[in-house]
Homo-oligomer: A and B are copies of this chain.
Amino acid sequence: MSTTWHRRKFIKSSAIATVGISALTSGIQSFAAPKKNKVRMGLIGVGARGVGHLGLCLRRADVEVVAICDPDTNWAIPNARKKIQELYGNKKVAEYTNGNEDYLNLLKRDDIDAVIIATPWEWHTVQAIAAMKAGKTPAVEVCGAMDLQDCWDLVNTSEATGVPVFGMENVCYRRDVLAVFNMVKQGLFGEIIHLQGGYQHDLRGVKFNDGEHLYGGGVEFGEKGLSEAKWRTLHSVHRNGDLYPTHGLGPVSNTIDINRGNRLVSLVSMATKSRGLHKYIVDHPKGGPNHPNAKVEFKLGDIVSTLIKCNNGETIMLSHDTNSPRPYSLNFRVQGTEGLWMDDQKSLYVQGKSPNDQWEKTGDFKDPNSYFGKYDHPLWKRFEKDASGAGHGGMDYFVINAFVECIKRGVEYPLDVYDLATWYAITPLSERSVAEGGMVQAIPDFTKGKWMNRKPTFGLSDEY
């Protein structure tokens, strides 16, 4: 995270205007470079999130980290240097730290194949588009778009330049999520009819800190906050919708082949009143009713619920719940004509297999007789040791692995620009639905009809 990225006032990149539209109908070619043994990587954003990706890249023999970029020379860059020193020793990695636009200089290098973008949300689209135009294939961290047009700009630039985009939705690779994906693909739950997911994560200690320590410990945000508190909290001040849909939506999208034989058609969102963030400030020992931040009016409803209708007749229920005290949960449910799984219960039910009307435990991956033991995904079987110690319970390993392996092989990303655009679109559409009192919103078909022919590519093997 950075001290200055956030100062940019949502100015739209005009880059897209310079891309010729003659290429738009030709679709995205596979990555232009031939197959290769090593990927030369740049990292744009090496804050609390990006430094994790940096570490994973530095560890890989098939990746050469060429350059990093972050305007935050106080915290992010020193932190990244430590990681580089630890894993690369004295080997040189270039640095771009000269303000918000220095990433453009990183992109001018001719010794970089790909970039990982882990910057404040409002920069993702701008930087991904610039990367594509510079011929570098971007992996883009998750969030939601600032505006629906951002999603179109991503897609259109990718189609125009022929450069693919990788969507870094790590929860798609969570071990239980992949096991359930496996169950679905093997027909355990029959035909899928309803899915749930969400981001139920008490972020109050992320949205506020004391400006010196990463989590909690104060009620500061914006200029006085550190790391995510510096920029992420502003979105809770000014916006009301599902601001972070992909952790829930990504995994369930794969399950029902969204953009590959199926698509999201429409959504409605409703938000509760906003209480949690104000209350946190007022109740905090370093806050109180007279703290200046107690005057801030947070627009984000504490819980935003979104219902999505899919072309093949499924519904998806998403929840966004980040301002309240609660145990962490992504609220997953996958339900079909033969049974269902519920993450919160660590349980499933399968007609004719489970005792009548009773939940069964999903069990432990180490137990070959449990459901999770039986359906453990080939990726986890193969890479469990490599993933061990990687961020978010190992999931982050698989994200970087998929990105790198696809570049090396010159094949399509399993989570691509159409997926990213579709998931990102939920946020502005959800904001619009909330603003319009729950009015239903059409979800664009970013594939422009190609979803009818596109084939599933996610999670098909143990390779990436």
Contact = CB atoms under 8 A, between A and B. Distances in A.
A190 B357 CA distance: 34
A186 B340 CA distance: 35
Nearest to A269: B307
B328 A275 contact: no
B307 A438 contact: yes
Query: Chain copies in the assembly?
Result: 2
Contacts of A339: 325-326
Interface residues of A, number: 53
- Most chain-B Cβ atoms within 10 A of its Cβ — which of A194, A279, A317, A338? A194
Contacts of A191: 275
B272 A194 contact: yes
A356 B350 CA distance: 33
A328 B315 CA distance: 20
A286 to B, nearest CB: 17
Contacts of A345: 344-345
A313 interface: yes
A96 interface: no
Nearest to A358: B327
A440 B275 CA distance: 25
Given A268-B438, A345-B344, A439-B440, A327 B276 contact: no
Interface in A338-390: 338-340, 342, 344-345, 349-351, 357-359
A193 B303 contact: yes
Given A193-B302, A193-B303, A328-B357, A313 B273 contact: yes
A267 B328 CA distance: 28
A202 B357 contact: yes
A313 B436 CA distance: 15
Contacts of A321: 194, 335
Contacts of A438: 266-268, 307, 309, 440
A327 B307 contact: no
Nearest to A359: B327
A273 B308 CA distance: 13
A314 B272 contact: yes
A317 B305 contact: yes
Given A302-B193, A302-B194, A327 B357 contact: yes
A395 to B, nearest CB: 19
A340 B266 CA distance: 30
Interface in A261-304: 266-268, 270-273, 275-276, 279, 301-303
The 10 A-B residue pairs with the shortest CB-CB distance, nearest first, are A273-B313, A325-B351, A438-B440, A268-B268, A193-B272, A194-B303, A270-B307, A272-B315, A193-B302, A270-B315
